[in-house]
Amino acid sequence: MAPHKKSRVLIVGGQFSGLFCARDLKKHFHCTIVDAKEFFEYTPGILRCYVKPAHFDSLSFTLQPVIEWSMGVKFIWGEVLSLDGVNNSANILPIYSQGNGRYEEKVFFDYCIICAGCNFNPFSPIGESLWFPTVHESSRPKSEWAHIDERFIEGRRRHILEEYHKIALLAQKNSTIMIAGAGFIGVEWATELEYYFPSLKVTIIDFLPRCLGPLPDGAAEYCSEYMSAVGIKEFYGLKYEPKNPDFWKAVELPNGADFTYVCMGVKASNFFMPKETLSDKGPGGGGWIHFNKFMQVTKKPAPGTDIGEVWGSGTVFAVGDCNYGCIGSPPNWVMPPIPKISYPGEEQALHACNNVELMEKNRTMRPTWWPWGGGMFATSLGPHDACFVLAANENKGSGYMVNWWLPAALQKEIIETTKVNECKNGIIGICIWHFVHHTPVNLFGRGPFLPRSKAFGI
């Protein structure tokens, strides 16, 4: 009897969700991961690397040995330039084929899962920030650090060292630092700067009436009390207007700040997708991938409709930070906005993987849902303090601060260490995190209260 031919799955992106998909599907499919950079980095912990560069080694690893030698799937180091959802193919620019010998490779697939993530600075035309490496071909020439190639792990390390030395020089001069944006990224960055460089005079602002935006009052008050105690000045209810002298007077910096970090919002980086699949609105000016309740990529919804027509052959899925994050519009959401953090990205990756398996078996796919873990936020306040919020949702002020101070800081360290180990295909991390998403019964959130085998039909 001839062996069964496995279908091919192309996974775009080698961060959390991409590695999750490969590990979940490799038993039944030929999986290939393509990523424009050669390394993985744990984005939630990257802030500390700029004030403690040695920390980067514990957050990163080279992808190829882990993906090919340990996981047993294929890795392509290159950038996806375009996806064809009709002919099920992708045009990829491999890392070694650029310059004078440039050429593109066409890779065919039976299914594709997009796990491409997003960028973090809506004020930058290319969404460039310290929190994610600049790796796309169209962005690198416009980069503020174009002299560094962050597609390489050594280039990323050099950028971290360069920023560290810049901060150290600012600290020597007792400089003033402005943090624009008091969400969890802004709060973490302000407190990391203050802890490792106490001579800096740090000011944080936000247009909302308090820090941590929509999270519960208890968490906001806890973080605000910490920042006040260590001398970080806070100003809320102010719009960031760096060219307005009155703005600087309002934040008690009449001569401006010596340096400003923008820590607000996200920006899409779906350069490879056709415009018919991308939103015209949303955070950072739009450009997010539309999707339906089965995680399939769709075209823009027609006026008066919530969900667009399935794009291509329906075999392309978009999960995590790259997609629109919600389905429908207020107040009658099909699915309310989901935070762009790692947990819901992996949960959506699981739903997409299950639907790929169902589609392969010609069975009815199952809808996704708003994951309960989308409401978990761990905010560091330097290395020895933190707060942890559970059960937040799309409603302002929802959730509960269930852990704080040193226990919360230790909790975040444990999450970071074990999660990196899992992504590295380590047995300890896999044992700890496997059942976080592969629960036998869905006990929390808005999914069906059914065993996994019945909820997904597999």
DSSP, residue by residue, 401-450: EEEEHHHHHHHHHHHHHHHHHHHTT-HHHHHHHHHHHS-SB--STTS-SS
CA distances (Å), origin 103, targets 93, 95, 96, 100, 349:
7, 10, 9, 9, 31
Separation CA 380–CA 200 (nearest Å)? 19
* pLDDT score at 444: 66
For residue 369, the number of C-alpha atoms closer than 13 Å in the C-beta half-sphere is 13
Over the chain, what is the mean pLDDT? 91
What whole-number distance in Å separates Cα of residue 159 and Cα of residue 263? 18
H-helix or E-strand containing 185? helix 184-196
Q: What is the pLDDT of residue 443?
A: 61
Distances (CA, A) of 284 to 119, 124, 212, 280: 9, 9, 19, 10
Nearest alpha-carbon partner for 75 in 128, 13, 127, 25: 13
Answer positive or negative: Cα dihedral of 208, 213, 218, 222: negative
Half-sphere exposure of 457 (CA within 13 A, CB side): 14
> Which backbone phi and psi does 423 adopt, to 5 degrees?
-60, -30
Residue 439, pLDDT score: 76
* β-pairing verdict for 176-180 and 201-206: parallel
69, exposed or middle or buried, with CB in 10 Å at 0-12, 13-18, 19+?
Answer: exposed
The token pair that represents 297 in the structure block = 């990529």
pTM of the model as a whole: 0.94
Given this model, what pLDDT does residue 358 score? 95
Q: Which CATH superfamily is domain 7-124+267-370 in?
A: FAD/NAD(P)-binding domain (3.50.50.60)
Low-confidence ranges of the chain (pLDDT < 70): 1-4, 98-101, 441-445, 448-458
36, 78 in Cβ contact below 8 A? yes
Distance between CA atoms of 386 and 379, rounded to whole angstroms?
Answer: 5
- Phi, psi (5° rounding) for residue 316? -110, 130
Q: How far apart are the first and last CA of the chain?
A: 25
Beta strands in 296-391 (DSSP E): 316-318, 377-380, 386-390
CB burial of 353-391 (b: ≥16 within 10 Å; e: otherwise) equals: bbbbbbbbeeeebbebbbbbbbbbbbbbbbbebbbbbbb
Which of 114, 116, 140, 22 has its CA nearest to residue 71? 22
- Give the integer Cα–Cα distance in Å for 447 and 186: 32
**144, burial (CB in 10 Å: exposed 0-12, middle 13-18, buried 19+):** exposed
